[in-house]
Amino acid sequence: MGQHLVTPPGMACDPPHVEYRLDSNISSSSNGVLRYAAYHKVMQNDQSDPSMACSFPAFRFETKGTTEGNINSVHFEFALVNDNSLYNFASVADPYTFADQLVRCPEDPHTCVFTNLGGDAKLVSPKNEGNGDKDRYGHIAAFLRKAPTEQIQSVWKTVAETYRDQLRAQSPQPVWFSAAGGGVAWLHFRFDRRPKYYHYTPFKQTF
């Protein structure tokens, strides 16, 4: 494979966090940022999806602050931060807070992209698909473990496209890409101008 996930020496999937890095020998013609979001496919191929490898009931997903100018030179890394309070808060999903936004994307059956109320971040959220368990949408761990495979793949594709668009739109300023859910118990990926809700201190800086 051209890409694989590695963890720093001695790093184990134990509290309070686990850190992953995506290495690649693919040329920059693959448009760097798409390699960032390609990690889920890589993990599936390598059988190293952290949502399965980690025993965390719920976790925060946090990446480095990155600019459009350095996406081809900086390794993609992300941290999964164990968060029991998130599990307690989001184990029962809230299908109401984002309901108005999610119905405004009729062309996409799986997901929706919208701006947060403060106007300073772009969000990507999955729709409540079919008659399945809505609580699978409460936080990222539940979504990756329980949502339909087709929807998971579609959401990651939309995340990749949105990440690329936000890097271009905010250039040369950095973008912080994360998912937590402490404010609304419905999975939403954030593309932010600052690490507003970050818990993993090493990734609060710009790389």
What does the pLDDT read at residue 182?
Answer: 84
What confidence score (pLDDT) does residue 26 get? 42
* Bridge partner list, 175: 66
Stated pTM of the model: 0.82
59-72-67-80 Cα dihedral, nearest 10 degrees = 10
What is the predicted pLDDT for the residue at 22? 59
SS3 call for 6: strand
pLDDT at 130: 72
Range of the domain at 173: 3-204
> DSSP states of 63-127 as a string?
EEEE-GGGTTTS-EEEEEEE-HHHHHHHSS--SSTTHHHHTT-TT-SSEEEEE-TTSSEEEEEE-
What residues in the chain have per-residue pLDDT under 50? 1-12, 25-34, 36-48
Interatomic CA distance for residues 206 and 64, integer angstroms: 7
Q: What is the pLDDT of residues 133-176, one digit of tens each?
A: 889 999 999 998 899 988 988 888 888 889 889 999 999 999 99
Residue located via tokens 């719920």: 58
How much is the pLDDT for 140?
93
CB atoms within 10 A of CB 138: 26
Number of domains in the chain: 1
